[in-house]
Amino acid sequence: MIEPLDILNAHILIVDDQESNISLLRQLLIESGYSNISATTNPQEVCALHRKHRYDLILLDLQMPVMDGFEVMAGLKTNHADAYMPVIVLTAQPGHKLRALQAGAKDFISKPFDLLEIKTRIYNMLVVRFLYKKLENYNKLLEQTVQERTAELRESEARYRSLTELASDWYWEQDENMKFTKVSGPVLEMLGIQVDSMLEDSSIAEASSVNNSTGDLNLKQNNHKKPDWNEKERALLQAKINAREPFLDFVFSRVTADGLQQKFQVSGEPMFDWHCKFIGYRGIGVALPTR
């Protein structure tokens, strides 16, 4: 909601090479309750004045010597202090109206002046101007809020990772192609595996891969003889990953080359970006005591 007092306190600049026109417009504005009025007969100083004062409205005569109103508007367009050009042009030439609007003017006032038309067009223009300012301020506030919220989420995510790493033997993340992007904890020692994306220069002699259309784990075994994984359990886990389902305390096992049975418990969840696009998985894992 725009308050009437805000409208009447608007900073207005009158630009006309005729002092008589400036006096007439100034008197009309004062009688209408406007109190913050400036004027100049020199069109060449308009851009500098607007950069300094950021006027809420510029009443601009089109036909002036040395520099006409169209040239002034061209200069205002390059004024980075204000993306919105708050100009009402003053013209006695009907053919100039469309050209002025195409040049960036927001409205026009015909000469000779009609007092009711002037009052109405100026008031309506200022309402739009202040609404634009409110929208601009709201967008800045929204951008700041988003930045603050993003920082909070990043901090929260860092705390989450720290806590999950403390509460588990290892923490892992995979991208949408199921390639590992993060593994922390002694997973290499516990499972005897290496992650291709992290250890591309490894000189391990033997390799064993688990390749799936949606779950390419790409794990290299440290042992020359690969462990015997429980294929039923692994297939069930893979089905959950394929379906992008979360899983909690899922237990799978294997028998090592030495005949020792090992069990591991993992929990994971799919990750999505702000647009709800799937971007991968993250989770934790622990080694269960051997009985």
Whether the model pTM is above 0.85: no
How far, in Å, CA of 120 to CA of 5, rounded? Answer: 16
How far, in Å, CA of 209 to CA of 235, rounded? Answer: 14
What is the predicted pLDDT for the residue at 84? 79
Beta-strand pair 180-184/170-174 = antiparallel
pLDDT tens per residue across all 291 residues of the chain: 788 888 999 999 999 999 999 999 999 999 999 999 999 999 999 999 999 999 999 999 999 988 999 999 999 988 766 677 899 999 888 888 889 989 889 999 988 888 898 999 999 999 999 998 888 888 889 988 888 888 888 888 777 767 666 667 888 888 998 888 888 776 655 555 544 433 333 332 233 333 333 344 444 444 445 668 888 988 898 888 889 999 999 998 888 878 888 888 888 899 998 888 999 998 888 888 876
Locate 121 and state its tokens: 């067009």
List of residues 6+ apart from 56 with CB closer than 8 A: 10, 11, 12, 86, 126, 129, 130
How far, in Å, CA of 21 to CA of 60, rounded? Answer: 11
Among 3.40.50.10190, 3.40.50.2300, 3.40.50.11810, 3.20.20.140, what is the CATH number of 4-140?
Answer: 3.40.50.2300
Answer yes or no: same fold for 4-140 and 168-288. no
What is the predicted pLDDT for the residue at 173? 87
Topology (CATH) of 168-288 = Beta-Lactamase (3.30.450)
List of residues 6+ apart from 291 with CB closer than 8 A: none
**Which neighbouring-strand residues pair with 269?**
282
How far, in Å, CA of 262 to CA of 202, rounded? Answer: 25
Domain boundaries, the chain: 4-140, 168-288
Burial of 271-290, coded b for 16+ CB within 10 Å and e otherwise, reads: beeeeeeeebbbbbbbbeee
How far, in Å, CA of 180 to CA of 219, rounded? Answer: 10
What is the predicted pLDDT for the residue at 211? 38
